[in-house]
A and B are shown apart, each in its own frame.
Chain A
Amino acid sequence: MSHSMRLVLGSFKPYSHFRPLHSAYRLKGSWWRLILLAIFSFLIVGITSFMNIKYAGEMPEYTGIAPDERILFVLSEVITDGLLGVLTLIVIVVGGALLYWPFFQQVGFKRLAYIHSYVVFILLIGMLLQLPFIPFLHEPSLISPYSLGVYVDLLTNIPFWLYFSYSLSLFLAWGTFVQYAAIRQSTTVSRGYALFWIIILNVFMVAITAYMRTAF
C-alpha cells in the first residue's frame, strides 16, 4: 500500500489524509513534490526579501544607491535569501524529523520527514499571505499580523523575544495541528504525549531559530 503526498489535501484535511500513512510501505510522489517545494521556497523567500527591501526599508542603504544600481544590489540579496529559503526547507524537513524521531520512533524517520514537508508547505502559505501586508504596512515580513508577536512588540524591544513571538503564528499552529493529526494516525502513543511533545519541540525549534537570528 502506498501513500501519495498531497500537500493541499493534507494541510486542509489532515486526519483523513494521513489515516493510511501508518500502513503505507511506500510514499509516492515525495521527491518531485519536494523539488517543487524547494522552488516554491526559493521564490517565496526571494520575493519576500525583495519586498522587505523595497517597501519596508529592510536595507537602509538601498535609499542611498543610485536607481540604476539598485537592481544589481538587490538581486544579490534576493538570490542569497532565496537559497537560504531552500536551506531552511531542508533543515525543517530533515532536522525536524531528526528532532522528532527520539520521541516518535514508531512513526519512523522517513515518515516524520514526510510529515514535516507539509509543515513547510503551510509556513510557505503563511509567507505568501504575508506579502500584501509588507507594502501596506511598510514593515518587514517579520512583523506579521498573523502572530502573537504584535502584543509582545508592545511590551519589549529585546530582539530574541520579538523574533520568537512573531514566529508563533496562526500558520505555525496550523502546522502543529497537521503534525499532531499525522503523528496520531501513525502511532499508538497517547493523545497527551503526542500533543505535549509536538508543541514542546516546535517551540524549541522556534526558539533556536530566534536565537540563531539574533545572537550573531
Chain B
Amino acid sequence: MKRKSLWISISVTLVILLFITANTLIIQSVIAGEKKLETVTVKGKTYQELSTFEGVLIPELEESYYYQASRGDISNVLVKEGDDVSIGTSLFEYDEGEVVNVSDLKAQVNKAETAVSVLDDQLSDLAVQSSRIESNEDLEDEQKLQLQLDVEEQIRDTEYKKRLAELDVKELERQIAEVDTEKVELSVDSTLDGTVEQVNRTPEDGESVVTLLSNKLTVQGSVNELDYPTLAVDQEVVIRSGAYPGQPATGRLTILEDRPYEVDEETGLSMYHFNVILSEESEMNSGTHVVIDIPLHQNNNAPSVPKGSIIVKDDKSYVVVYEEEKLHLRKVEQGRIEDDKVEILSGLQLKEKVLTKPREAFTELLSEKEELEKDHKDQDENPEMDTESKG
C-alpha cells in the first residue's frame, strides 16, 4: 500500500510539474509581451453649440406687375393662375395707342421753317427801308422820325412772329424725336422664373394684374429678441425637416430683418424674421416646416483628448505628455465635452501624445518635481534677493 501510494504521489507530482512546464512554455512563447505606455495622439475636433430655430420654406421672390392707366387699357392677360413662367414671358398687354404720323410732323416743320425764312426776309427789307428813310434828304426831320417809328414797330412785330415760328419748329422737332426714340411698350414681361399665383383681369389703376412666385425657395426663420444678437448674415446653417429625415440641407443666412413682425403672446418677446438661402436644390417643397440649426461658438480643429487623460486637481487640469521617451506634466485649460472628448483651449498642440489613463499619484509626483525645479530656477536667477531676505 505504501509503495502504491508512493507511486501515486510521484505520478501526481510529475503531472503537476508537466502542467506547470507546459503553461510556462505557452506563456513564454505566446502570451508574453511588453507592456507599452498607452498613449493617444491629440487630434483636432470641431466643437460648437447649436441653436435651433423654426422656419418654413417660402418662395425666394414674390413679384407683382401693376396696371398703369396712363399707358392705356389692358387688351389681354396672357397667363392664368398656376402657369409656369420664365424670364421674358409676356404676362399681359396694353392696347395700341394712336399712331403718330412722322411725315405730317416733318411737313409742319418745313412749313414753320419757311415761315421763319420769310420773316427773316421781311426783317431784312425793313432794315433796308429804315436806312433809306435815314438817308433821304428830301424828308423833314419830323417826317423822318415818324417813318422810322413806323418801321421800327414793324420790325418788332416781325421779330416776334419769327420767334414764334422758331418755337413751333423746335416743338415739332421734339415730337419727331420722341416718336423715334420712345417706343410705347405694349407688353409686360416676367422678370423671374416662377409660377403665377394670382391674376386680376379687371384691375383699377395701381392694382396688381399678375403676381408671380419664384421657383427658387428660401427658408424663413423666426428668432426672438433674446437670441437675435447671436445671429449674423453669412452664418452657415443646417436645415432639417421631419418630412425628409436623413436629408439635411445646408444654407447661409442672408437677411436678418431689423424690425419685428410680431410680439409673441406667451413670452412677450419680439419676434424677427431671418432668411436662409439653400446651398443646393432640395426636394423640399414650399410650405415645408423645417428646423434650422445654427452652429455658434465654433472652434474648428480644436485639440481634443479623451476625458480619462485629464486629471483635475485643485481646480486645475493636467495631462501627461509623452515626448522623446519622457513624461511631462502639462497644465491645460478645458473647454467643452462632447462624446467623452474634451476640448483643450490651451496647453496642448495637435499631434502631441498624452497618456490615456494617467494616475493621480503619478501626476502629483510630477507636479511636485516641477515645482521644485521652478523653485531652484528662481533661486538661481535671484540669489541676491535670497541673501537680503536672509539678512
Q: Does B111 contact A (CB under 8 A)?
A: no
Q: Does B16 contact A (CB under 8 A)?
A: yes
Pairwise interchain contact A64-B322, C-beta atoms closer than 8 A? yes
Which residue of the partner chain A has the closest CB to B34? A57
Chain B residues within 8 Å of chain A by Cβ, number: 29
Which residues of the partner chain B approach A146 to less than 8 Å between Cβ atoms? 20, 23
Q: Does B298 contact A (CB under 8 A)?
A: no
Once bound together, how far apart are the Cα atoms of A147 and B20, in whole Å?
8
A136-182 contacts to B (CB < 8 Å): 137-139, 143-147, 150-151, 153-154, 170
Pairwise interchain contact B369-A69, C-beta atoms closer than 8 A? yes
Pairwise interchain contact A139-B27, C-beta atoms closer than 8 A? yes
Which residues of the partner chain B approach A61 to less than 8 Å between Cβ atoms? 37, 320, 327, 355, 358-359, 362
B344-391 contacts to A (CB < 8 Å): 355, 358-359, 361-362, 365, 369
B313-363 contacts to A (CB < 8 Å): 320, 322, 325-327, 355, 358-359, 361-362
Pairwise interchain contact A64-B327, C-beta atoms closer than 8 A? yes
Which residues of the partner chain A approach B320 to less than 8 Å between Cβ atoms? 61
Pairwise interchain contact A65-B327, C-beta atoms closer than 8 A? yes
Q: Does B99 contact A (CB under 8 A)?
A: no
Encode A117-132 as 1/0 by CB contact (under 8 A) with B: 0000000000000000
Pairwise interchain contact B31-A143, C-beta atoms closer than 8 A? yes
Q: Bin the interface of chain A by size.
A: 20 to 34
Q: Does A73 contact B (CB under 8 A)?
A: yes
Pairwise interchain contact B31-A138, C-beta atoms closer than 8 A? no
Q: Does B26 contact A (CB under 8 A)?
A: yes
Q: Does B28 contact A (CB under 8 A)?
A: yes
B33-69 contacts to A (CB < 8 Å): 34-38
Pairwise interchain contact A137-B326, C-beta atoms closer than 8 A? no
Pairwise interchain contact B26-A73, C-beta atoms closer than 8 A? no
- Given A65-B365, A73-B361, A73-B365, check contact A138 B34 (CB 8 Å): yes
- How distant is A34 from chain B, measured CB to nearest CB, in Å? 29
Encode A70-94 as 1/0 by CB contact (under 8 A) with B: 0011001100000000000000000
Which residue of the partner chain A has the closest CB to B19? A170
Which residue of the partner chain A has the closest CB to B369? A69
Q: Does B226 contact A (CB under 8 A)?
A: no
Q: Does B30 contact A (CB under 8 A)?
A: yes
Pairwise interchain contact B28-A137, C-beta atoms closer than 8 A? yes
Once bound together, how far apart are the Cα atoms of A133 and B21, in whole Å?
11
Q: Does B24 contact A (CB under 8 A)?
A: yes
A91-126 contacts to B (CB < 8 Å): none
Which residues of the partner chain B approach A153 to less than 8 Å between Cβ atoms? 31
Once bound together, how far apart are the Cα atoms of A198 and B265, in whole Å?
74
Once bound together, how far apart are the Cα atoms of A66 and B366, in whole Å?
10
Once bound together, how far apart are the Cα atoms of A110 and B240, in whole Å?
70
Pairwise interchain contact A56-B35, C-beta atoms closer than 8 A? yes
B interface vs A, CB < 8 Å?
16, 19-21, 23-24, 26-28, 30-32, 34-38, 320, 322, 325-327, 355, 358-359, 361-362, 365, 369
A interface vs B, CB < 8 Å?
56-61, 63-66, 69, 72-73, 76-77, 133, 137-139, 143-147, 150-151, 153-154, 170
7 nearest interchain CB pairs? A57-B35, A145-B23, A64-B327, A60-B37, A145-B24, A150-B23, A61-B362
